[in-house]
Structure 1
Amino acid sequence: MERSKSLRAQQFFTAAQQQRIRETVARVEQDSRGEIVPLVIDRAGDYRSTSLTAAGLLAWAGLVLLLWWQPDWPAAQLAWRLPLVYAVLFGLGFAALELLPGLKRRLIRPAVLDERVRERALALFMHYNLHTTRDHTGVLILISLFERRVRILADSGINARVAAEYWQQRVDDIIIGLHRQEACEALCQAIDQCHRLLAEHFPHNGGANPNELPDLILH
């Protein structure tokens, strides 16, 4: 997901790619009673505590090196120089971590990243009312750029007929596409796979089939 280093969610897909994704989702709604919502976010959490802790440790390490390099500083100078140096090093370290997401991500345990994305996916699933579709056939496909994670959540109507391994395979397919710089292609293929599943188990019954949810969300 190298594009996530420089692009935020709003710019992750080009206008043409966004249109292609929406058209792919629309095909699902034409042939089935399913509702699929692809959603791209910048990050699932701000991880501010990671930046604060790392910047603090860097500043303390800098002070230790400074005292080793300048052991003969008068006490009167230490009284104002040490707090100043600490503040400067802390500020530089914090700014570096906020500006270099790849560096910051390496300081966070993978399990923490997984949990944040899981929690955010569930919150967004509820926020966009995917749990209130008529046949409980809402599907959220979440791509979180900072964490480099993909999460798929499906409502109870679908999960009653589909094993968890099915969704994990779709997640793995999208992740492979993201690493190959083929995010749009991978996402559309995953939606097409969901299309086949929904058309089989929840075919369009010929009655009214309103579009209950957005076809693509970027934020």
Structure 2
Amino acid sequence: MAKINIDAAKIEAAIADFEKAVDFELVPVIARSSTPTLHVPWVISSLLMIFVFFGFEAYYLSQWHDWEASTIIHALATLFAITLAIGFTLGRFNAVRRMLTPNKYRHQFAQLEAEQVFLKKRLFDTKAHQGLLLFISLMEQRIVVLPDIRSSFSGAQKLSEEVLKILQADFKAGSYEKGLLEAIEHLKKTLAPQFPKKADASQENQLPNKLIWWDE
């Protein structure tokens, strides 16, 4: 994956601006992947091995080579190592991982990971139950907008889809910072009418205004 450059100070300012207008404590989190993908390089390598084995067998029989057993074993071991190297190299690419991981599982694991982040980062530990997670899972290309279940927030799925559309074009172009800033701005404009910052609300910042990179 290409290097991701995001100015943390700009994101912190955008979060602070969001929280001046909306009665929620926003925490944006970016995870490179939420889904276990250890199977991917092995699937690729196994498929390559099948083709290589039958190709080698066909070549060997067609040429009627009088090879010694040690030569055949060495050739097969070399081909085995090459297919493993190719499989594990291709398995590092998100596009390949998505191709070999069912969409249903990618969606489920992104949702589960978002819920884990919400708990581990204690977004539930706010006085008025106004923790709000913006979870971005890059490999899965999934967005989860997750509010505290004790709040009156509704429409999280629709909002997640809207934010995903905003982020997709910018992230595809490598404009991660621009996409994230636009996503936070969209959340502010969408939620401010329904959850305006109360005039008598405490100015205490209960959750840090920071972008979190999640690799657990």
TM-score tier (shorter): 0.7 to 0.9
Structure 2 match to 1:133: 126
- Are the structure 2 counterparts of residues 157 and 185 from structure 1 closer, same or farther at C-alpha, using a change threshold of 3 Å? farther
Answer yes or no: is the 8 Å Cα contact 2:44–2:91 preserved in 1.
no
| 1:114 shift after superposition | 1.7
CA distance in 1, matches of 2:130, 2:66: 70
Q: In structure 2, how many angstroms separate the alpha carbons of the residues matched to 1:13 and 1:6?
A: 9
Equivalent of residue 50 in structure 1, options 28, 36, 40: 40
2:20 paired with 1:6: no
Letter in 2 for 1:25: I
Distance in 1 of aligned mates of 2:39 and 2:143: 23
Instruction: Give SS of 1:156's match.
Output: coil
Larger helix percent: 1
Q: What is the alpha-carbon root mean square deviation over aligned residues?
A: 2.6
C-alpha spacing 1:207/1:105, structure 2 compared with 1 (3 Å): closer
- 5+ unaligned residues in a row in structure 2: which ranges? none
Identity %: 17
Gaps of 5+ in 1: none
- TM (norm. structure 2) is 0.80
User: Shift in Å at residue 22 of structure 1?
Assistant: 0.8
**Aligned-partner SS, 1:37:** strand
Q: Is residue 105–residue 146 contact of structure 1 (8 Å, CA) maintained in 2?
A: yes
Distance in 1 separating the partners of 2:18 and 2:9: 15
User: Matched residue pairs, number?
Assistant: 208
Q: Kindly provide the CA deviation profile for residues 175-202 of structure 1, in whole angstroms up to 9, marking residues without a partner as x.
A: 3432354432332233233334257525
TM-score (norm 1): 0.79
Match of 1:20 in 2: 10
Q: CA 1:97/1:180 → structure 2, altered by over 3 Å: closer, same or farther?
A: closer
1:96–1:162 Cα change, 3 Å: same
Once residues 140 and 182 of structure 1 are traced to their aligned partners in structure 2, the CA distance between those partners, rounded to angstroms, is 21
Instruction: Specify the alignment match of 1:162 in structure 2.
Output: 154
